[in-house]
Amino acid sequence: MEFTEERLSRYSRHILLKDIGIKGQQKLAKGRVLIVGVGGLGSPVALYLAAAGVGVIGIADADVVDLSNLQRQIIHFTPDVGKPKVVSAARKIAELNPDVTVVPHEEFLTAENAAAIIRNYDFVVDGTDSFPAKYLINDACVFERKPFSHGGILRFNGQTMTVIPHETACYRCVFPTPPPKGVVPTCAEAGVLGAIAGMLGTIQAAETLKFLTGAGTLLTNTVLTFDALDMTFRKISVKRNPRCPICGKTPSLVELRDEEPAVCDFSPKGAP
């Protein structure tokens, strides 16, 4: 990318950073990132990556903007209700930064299409709200050896980990199989403070930008978890699990499949 006066000005605060600079900004311009789910987490991720000048941003989502989304899905505005989320998000990204190429994938990731979509990108951000989708992203990224950021939110809590497949712990190393039915509620069932999506999404965005530029140390082999009610943040070290069903010593998962969606209809005692 040519650094015109305009671009030098647009990205000046990045260029000032010694860990980014012109070189890092060029890496961002060459970066290709897939955001799966442009909802609570995907919204801030998409906005910050677009603002940062990430060259290609893919967004995969087959959903339509609903009024109940607007409390936290900040890329979508009131007039967008009823529009496909990829259309709404693509317009905001284009307005925010014309340097960015948006690739809309107006579909949900499935065992059939995941590998082919993921393959086109350097890094994947999990912004989904279902365990089948989270496991699918993990598995597809492990099979494709594609680094990704896992993220989850609920109520006042957030949790995230960055995964470099076959090098650092994956989601299944920590949680080998999806939770049994009824054990873990989703945001739609238990609620979530809107700003929590922003807190976690911006951490995922920062990890993505660090990955693309090589700045700092990634949140690999580490789960960052926070409780916004008392603002406690905790980092828990994890390591690759030899019994991991996908990246362990004797993996039982050898091809991509969709996990059964769990029916979650109550909130467990002691859950976050």
Partner 1 sequence: MKITVNGVATAFDAAPSVADVLSADNIALKGAVSVQVNGEFVDEGGYTETVLNDGDELDYLFFLGGGSRR
Based on the shown chain and the rule CB under 5 A, indicate whether residue 173 belongs to the binding site for Zn ion.
yes
**Nearest CA to 247 among 97, 146, 109?**
146
* The entry of Zn ion, partner 1, none that residue 128 binds, CB within 5 to 8 Å by partner kind: partner 1
Of residues 211-250, those binding partner 1 (CB under 8 A): 223, 225, 234, 236-239, 241, 243
How far apart CA 37 and CA 121 sit, in angstroms, is 15
Sign of the torsion formed by the C-alpha atoms of 10, 16, 22 and 24 = negative
Q: Does residue 106 contact residue 86 with C-beta atoms inside 8 Å?
A: yes
**What character string, x for contact with partner 1 (CB under 8 A) and - otherwise, covers 158-197?**
xx-------------xxxx--xx--xxxxxx---x----x
CA distance to 49, 53, 98, 247, 262, per residue, from 6 (Å): 18, 13, 12, 45, 50
Listed residue (42, 28, 75, 35) closest to 57, CA to CA:
35
Subset of 30-69 contacting partner 1 (CB under 8 A): 36-42, 61, 63, 66, 69
170 touches which of Zn ion, partner 1, none (CB within 5 to 8 A by kind)?
Answer: Zn ion
Pairing of strands 148-154, 157-163: antiparallel
- Residue 35 has a CB neighbour count (10 Å cut-off) of 31
List of residues 6+ apart from 12 with CB closer than 8 A:
none
Interface map 119-158 toward partner 1 (x if CB under 8 A): -------xxxxxx-xx----------------xxxx--xx
Neighbouring CB atoms inside 10 A of 261's CB total 12
- Tell me the window of 54-62, 120-128, 165-173, 209-217 that interacts with Zn ion (CB under 5 A): 165-173
**Residue 247: which of Zn ion, partner 1, none does it interact with, CB under 5 to 8 A by kind?**
Zn ion
What separation in angstroms does the CA of 38 have from each of 135, 198, 251? 17, 12, 31
> Binding to Zn ion by residue 172, rule CB under 5 A?
yes
Measured from the CB atom, the residue of 3 and 175 that comes closer to Zn ion is 175
By CB under 5 A, tell whether 163 contacts Zn ion.
Answer: no
Residue 126 binds which entry of partner 1, Zn ion, none, with Cβ cut-offs from 5 to 8 Å by kind?
partner 1
Q: Which residues bind Zn ion (CB under 5 A)?
A: 170, 172-173, 244, 247
Q: Which residues bind partner 1 (CB under 8 A)?
A: 36-42, 61, 63, 66, 69, 73, 85, 108, 126-131, 133-134, 151-154, 157-159, 173-176, 179-180, 183-188, 192, 197, 223, 225, 234, 236-239, 241, 243, 268-272
